[in-house]
Amino acid sequence: MTEEIFSTDAYARTCEATVVAASEEGVILDRTVFYARGGGQPGDTGILRWDGGEVRVADTVKHGGEVVHVVEGQAPAVDSRVSAEIDWGRRYTLMRTHTALHCLSGVVFTGYGAKVTGGNMEPGVARMDFELDSISVEFGREVEEALNARLAEDRPVHAGFLPRAEALSDPDLIRTKVNLIPGSVDPIRVIEIEGIDKQADGGTHVRSTGEVGHVRVVKTESKGKANKRMRIELAEP
């Protein structure tokens, strides 16, 4: 199994690694800073360099539990040493976007009791669906104001691991359906934004909400009964 450096250090941009497997499908390394697409967060892009060559990584995905670097061109040879580097600007924007979404989820639950039904993100833009009977432009503005006030408090964001039994009895994690995580996953990775939100999550986040900056709610729309969508956008820092 690949050592997933991004899960304990989201700010690591590069690492040295050894090629474990390589095919037209992609490259598997013994350790990596590349986040594999999942939980609404896109996979990382970047570059693999080695003695005498380099190749672009167009995407990173999970295949059978393995982190696969999808390359555009000739893959490095098995057993060779490579230096792996992510496109940091894109990833950092995704970290800010992902943390913004968790804060949005916390703000809407705390203020209105509505749970999240889905979500997705691209760098700087995201959508989140809520179990709400109605939604309006005014509601969007109200949430935007509350969200930015909370972000401005510069709350610390903690990424940690909890034993499965402990996670399954945590009320915050129960609310976010921790029980749906496959039984083999133990410990469970948890992202806690102090005083705002706590959920099981595999993604990469910024260290504190101040790094997210200002967020705009750009659209509110109905996606059916008890399913309302909010689109957000990060303001440029």
Interface positions, 83-102, toward Zn ion (CB under 5 A)? none
Stretch that binds Zn ion, among 1-9, 17-25, 152-160, 200-208 (CB under 5 A): 200-208
* From 108, 203, 212, 232, residue interacting with Zn ion (rule: CB under 5 A): 203
- Build a one-symbol-per-residue string for 153-182: x at contacts with Zn ion by CB under 5 A, - elsewhere: ------------------------------
CB of 199 to Zn ion, least distance (A): 7
Return the number of the residue (26 or 203) whose C-beta is nearest Zn ion.
Answer: 203
Per the rule left: phi > 0, alpha: psi between -120 and 50, beta: everything else, 175 is alpha
Return the number of the residue (27 or 105) whose C-beta is nearest Zn ion.
Answer: 105
Tokens linked to 57: 């990584």
Q: What single string gives the DSSP state of each residue in 127-142?
A: EEEE--S---HHHHHH
Return the number of the residue (75 or 193) whose C-beta is nearest Zn ion.
Answer: 193
Residue nearest Zn ion by beta-carbon distance: 201
Q: Is 43 in the site for Zn ion (CB under 5 A)?
A: no
Stretch that binds Zn ion, among 26-34, 79-87, 108-116, 196-204 (CB under 5 A): 196-204
Return the number of the residue (87 or 201) whose C-beta is nearest Zn ion.
Answer: 201
Q: Is 201 in the site for Zn ion (CB under 5 A)?
A: yes
> Which residue type is seen at 143?
V
CB of 157 to Zn ion, least distance (A): 11
Point out which residues bind Zn ion (CB under 5 A): 201, 203
